[in-house]
Amino acid sequence: MLRFLILMLLGSVLPLHATTLLVFGDSLSAGYQLPAQQAWPALLQQYWQTQHPDLHIINASVSGETTQGGAQRLPALLKQHQPDWLMIELGANDGLRGLPVAATQANLQRMITQAQQQGAKVILTQIRLPPNYGRRYLNQFEPIFATLAEEYQLPLLPFFMEPIITDPGLLLADRLHPNAAGQQKIAQSLEPTLTALLTGKGQL
C-alpha cells in the first residue's frame, strides 16, 4: 500500500510530456530589432504557459535566413531539439533576392523531408512578396507553398503579415517588419490554429 501511494505521489508531480514546436523562420519570426521576448513565438509561449503548459515553442528563426541556409542548419536543430512539430516560415528572403524559384522549392522539399525523417510533423507558412517584384516572378514563386502542402499533405498557414503590412501602426520604420504591436497581433492570429494542431483538435 505504501509503495502504491509513493508511486501515485511521484506520478502527480512528474511533468507532462511537452509537445514541442520548432519555429524555423526568418526576421519576421526572429523579432527583428526587438527584444527576443517580444517576438511572436515568445508571446505565444507566454500564453501557452498558463493555458496549455504541455505545449512548448523553440524559436530557431534567424534574420536574413534563406531556404538554402535553412536546409543546411535544420538537421542539427532537429537532432538537438527533437521537436514534435516543425513550422517552416522561410522563402521571403529568396524571393526578395530574386533567387531561382526551383531552388527555393527544392530547399523547402529538403527541409520537409529532413523533418519527416526525424518524426516531426511539418507546418508550412505561405509567403507572399510585394507586387513590385513582377507578376511573372510572383506567379512562379507564390504557388510553390500550396503545391508542397498538397504534395506532402501539410497544414498551410496563410501569410501572417498580410493583415499587418498595410497598417503602419504595426510596423517598424522600414515598413517591412512588425513592431511589438505587430508581433502581438501575429501571436494572437496564430494561436488558435497552432493550439488546435498541436493538441490534435484541429487541422487545416
Catalytic residues: 27, 174, 177
Return the H-helix or E-strand segment holding 123. Answer: strand 121-125
The torsion angle over the Cα atoms of residues 44, 87, 148 and 79, rounded to 10 degrees, is: -170
How far is residue 132's CA from residue 176's CA, in Å, rounded to a whole number? 14
Residue 1 burial (CB count, 10 A): 5
Residues 6+ apart with CB under 8 A from 115: 74, 78, 86, 121, 122
* Rounded CA separation 134/119 (Å): 38
Q: How far apart are CA 15 and CA 54, in angstroms?
A: 8
Strand order in the sheet with 156-157: 55-59, 19-25, 85-89, 121-125, 156-157
Rounded to whole angstroms, how far apart are CA atoms 10 and 4? 10
